[in-house]
Structure 1
Amino acid sequence: MTLPVPHLDDRGFLDLVTEARERIRQSCPAWTDLSAHDPGMALVETFAHLTEVMIYRLNQLPEKAYVSFLNLLGVTRHAPTAAWADVRFTRTGTDRGAVRIPAGLRVAAARGADPRPVVFVTTEPTLLPADETSVTVRMHHCEPVEAELLGVGTGQPGQVLRATHAPLTHTAEALDLLLGVEVPAGTVELGAAAREYDGRTFEIWQPVDSFAGLGPQAKAYLVDRCSGTVIFAPALDLRPAAGATPRGEVAADAAAPASTVPPVTVAAV
């Protein structure tokens, strides 16, 4: 069941005219002719009509206001999802050896009415085994981005970084977005996910919907895929009010990056 939508102002034409009549009686007792034939009442009814039109427009809350209210509540839009297709690669030559299909290979769909063809790209490498005649590969209509440097961590809570390639689209792959924080080689915690890139080690942090309930050592972040914004945990101000028992200064909701961030592997249209 949908929620009822309240009217911000439910007054109509008759309500406005009646309210004006009462105000006239209170503030202008010399005005005794309040019939519809009075020129003054004709002006009152004209303004009541115009006010009713304004109230109607007020109750048609624009989409921009809805979006602003949702932003205040921390509600974000669903990110776009890349179209995908299963494409079959078939061997045509006499060579029966294994054939490697690299990531980033592009295939254009047949042109229709639109002069710009739709291009699909492989996001993961695939191997056509020896002696096999074909292999099916899932391809996406997106632009893969590898190892984009978002920025440099300061160690301060509440850091906000933005990706150059936005929006960060969803794909059918299990891992279509990875964010890593650079750590010294050999210092990755036991059981933590990490990746090597360009001779450097990056520890993979986890996306969350909220920082509530996380410990100060939790390596997590919020991401708004539509705008390409990455937000790290803010800090809570625990300084006591006047006369209260001291409880400390500030406490972080989760960890904050203090080194280079990331690389990030994303699929962005």
Structure 2
Amino acid sequence: MTLPVPHLDDRTFLDLVTEARERIRQSCPGWTDLSAHDPGIALLEAFAYLTEVMIYRLNQLPEKAYVAFLNLLGVAQHAPSVAWADVRFTRTAGGSGPIRIPAGTRVAAARGADPRPVVFVTTEPALLPAGQVEVTVRMHHCEPVEAELLGLGTGQPGQVLRAARAPLARTAEPLDLLLGVEVPAGTVELGAAAREHEGRTFEIWRPVDSFAGVGPQAKVYRVDRCSGTVTFAPALDLRDPPEPHATAVGGATDGDAGP
């Protein structure tokens, strides 16, 4: 349950007009015609309308301030989730061998009176085995992006990179987002995940919600799916603190008098 957002000013158009009419009766007793066709009342209602618009914009401040405070605390918004559907592919007459359904296969669905169809796409390859008539494949209403180059590493801590298109929506697939850092061939640590792309090796890094408690050698990153930004860990000073020592300035020690 969300907390109600308070209004800084809850007056409406009718409240403003009623308040102004009451003030007219008190301050201008000679103004007796307060009907809607009076020119003065027409101007009053016009200004009341403009004031109501200003009050509406003023009341948006608490929500904006709330979001700004959450950003300062490092709280990220939930990324949008894409629609998905299980689509059944049926074999047509004229063959019984296996049929591969590659990732990126698109299926369009009608959208009622709207001429633009709803397009669903496969995010993982599928296979219709030999001898089977049909296979069910999960498809998503999204635009898959494969092997996008986010940027080049500078070696500096806390580097921030941004995807070309945001938001990075969530799908029903467990691995809907992978981030790899290029490493020399043959240097991937034993047990580490890696992928090959165009003859280059990319070691898969792990997303985390926070860098707290992360060691200096951890290969992790934070991702804000709403803005499409990827942040790497900041620098950590793991050196031992210096030994405490005393320094005498303008004083005297061991009974020797200073100047």
TM normalised by structure 2 equals 0.70
Deviation at 1:135, TM superposition (A): 0.4
Deviation at 1:154, TM superposition (A): 1.2
Deviation at 1:65, TM superposition (A): 1.5
2:57 and 2:228 map into 1 onto residues whose CA distance is 34
Would you say the 8 A contact 2:105–2:122 is kept in 1? yes
Deviation at 1:114, TM superposition (A): 1.7
Deviation at 1:93, TM superposition (A): 1.5
Q: Deviations over 1:197-234 (max 9, x none)?
A: 11011000000000000100000000000111000011
| AA in 1 matched with 2:185 | A
Deviation at 1:236, TM superposition (A): 4.2
Tell me the secondary structure at the aligned position of residue 80 of structure 1.
Answer: coil
Partner of 2:203: 203
Tell me the secondary structure at the aligned position of residue 107 of structure 1.
Answer: strand
Gaps of 5+ in 1: 10-36, 39-52, 247-269
2:196 and 2:229 map into 1 onto residues whose CA distance is 24
Deviation at 1:155, TM superposition (A): 1.2
Partner of 1:132: 132
Tell me the secondary structure at the aligned position of residue 143 of structure 1.
Answer: coil
Partner of 2:34: none
Deviation at 1:126, TM superposition (A): 0.6
| AA in 1 matched with 2:226 | C
Partner of 2:179: 179
Matches within 5 A, 1:26-175: 61-175=61-175
| AA in 1 matched with 2:231 | I
Larger-Rg structure: 2
| AA in 2 matched with 1:122 | T
Report how many aligned residue pairs link the two structures. Answer: 206
Partner of 1:227: 227
Instruction: Tell me the percent identity.
Output: 81
Deviation at 1:7, TM superposition (A): 9.0
2:153 and 2:3 map into 1 onto residues whose CA distance is 43
Would you say the 8 A contact 2:159–2:232 is kept in 1? yes
Deviation at 1:110, TM superposition (A): 1.8
Gaps of 5+ in 2: 10-25, 28-51, 246-259
Aligned alpha-carbon RMSD (Å): 3.3
Partner of 1:189: 189
Larger RCO, structure (CA 8 Å, separation 6 or more): 1
1:188 and 1:211 map into 2 onto residues whose CA distance is 23
Change (3 A) 1:128 1:4: closer
Deviation at 1:111, TM superposition (A): 3.4
| AA in 1 matched with 2:215 | G
Partner of 1:19: none
TM normalised by structure 1 equals 0.68
Deviation at 1:174, TM superposition (A): 1.0
* Stretches (4+) displaced over 3 A: 1-9, 53-62, 236-241, 243-246
2:143 and 2:129 map into 1 onto residues whose CA distance is 27
